[in-house]
Amino acid sequence: MLAFLARSILLGVVTAIALLLIFPDLRTQMFNTPQVLAPIEVNQTQVSFNYAVRRASPAVVNIYNRRYNAEDRLQLSTQGLGSGVIMSDKGYIVTNYHVVAEADQVIVALQDGRIFTAQLIGKDQRTDLAVLKIQAENLPVIPTSSDYHPAVGDVVLAIGNPYNLGQTTTYGIISATGRSGMSFYGRQDFLQTDAAINEGNSGGALVNTRGELVGINTASFQQTTDIETYGISFAIPYELTQKIMNKLIADGRVIRGYIGLEARDINPVMARLYDAEQISGIIVMGMDPNGPAAKAGFKVQDILIEIDGKRVTDRRNVLDIVTELRPGTDVDMKVLRNGEPTNLKVKIGDDPNGY
């Protein structure tokens, strides 16, 4: 028995020595200190828009539209709600026209708890914008940047007071820019976004990830439930908002130039039909018989190619140029008539469709 155990032990020792000679790496592993696995590094960075919200949200206010009771003219009741944006430390607030259009009294509630009765400075139905003013000090003003230009794919946040739930922030991207013809009140360019804009968000701020104002939320396409959206919402660009606000503050309304033309955009085929070498301009199809263009000598089939030294590209371009001209101003315009250039002097009128 002892001899059998001795032979087994000897055989095991010989086998171990043979394995160590054949596989030298085993000797290293036997005597080395076991390796301790390094802890896995966890990336603690997370995407957050908290900075932008903290920067912009104090300047977004709740707006309550109040009207007199039809049966009791001394009693005011809240008829609608919306949002607004403090644009100046002087108390100027921008909101949507449709938020305050029928209001007898407008109440503004700030996020710090202060409540004010607002004065209506002016409203513009065409752009769906209105300007209010409150008398207050130490007002938070929405950050803005003239260097920022909205682009498709930019992340944006919509801040407002949907369904009077209190200030709420939703986010999405800019889906498209320059959306025209989407306004309920006239031709208007919009920013399109998939950030949710619901009832009560109207007039609130659309901001970028730095908390800077991108536009004023104005409308959305909604399903029949009137709760969920298709993810298509619109905002009035900041640049246009600023321009309209300044005009409303200065004049109480937006004064737009007017010439009274009905026209079509010109294309290469039409240019050849009208014996015109140049393809940039608009073709006059009709006129207001009492309008400035008719009085200046415009004729049907004239091709308008230049206004006040600026080349004309299309109808939208003409509208943009003319509406910025002050009524009463004499402006030189160049047309092609039967292929020949003709200069006309037009006295700019006041747009009869202004609000």
Residues annotated as binding site for substrate? 259-264
Catalytic: which of 57, 98, 124, 302? 98
Asked if residue 64 lies in contact with residue 93, where contact means CB atoms within 8 angstroms, the answer is no
Closest CA to 277 of 329, 344, 340: 340
CA dist 84 → 145, 174, 200, 232 (Å): 19, 20, 10, 21
Catalytic: which of 183, 202, 220, 233? 202
Catalytic: which of 128, 189, 302, 351? 128
Q: Could you tell me how many helices (H) and strands (E) the chain has, helices first?
A: 8, 20
CA dist 2 → 5, 9, 329 (Å): 5, 11, 126
Residue 213 DSSP label: E
SS3 (DSSP) at 160: strand
Structural tokens at position 286: 């009709």
Q: Is 145 a catalytic residue?
A: no
Closest CA to 238 of 85, 118, 73: 85
Q: Which residues are annotated as a binding site?
A: 259-264
Residue 316 CA to residue 231 CA, distance in Å, equals 27
Q: Is 202 a catalytic residue?
A: yes
Full 3-state SS string of 33-83: CCCCCCCCCCCCCCCCCHHHHHHHHHHEEEEEEEEECCCCCCCEEEEEEEE
Q: Provide the H-helix boundaries in the chain.
A: 2-22, 25-31, 50-56, 97-100, 238-251, 268-273, 292-296, 315-323
Closest CA to 133 of 94, 162, 91: 91
Q: Is 149 a catalytic residue?
A: no
Q: Annotated catalytic sites, by residue?
A: 98, 128, 202
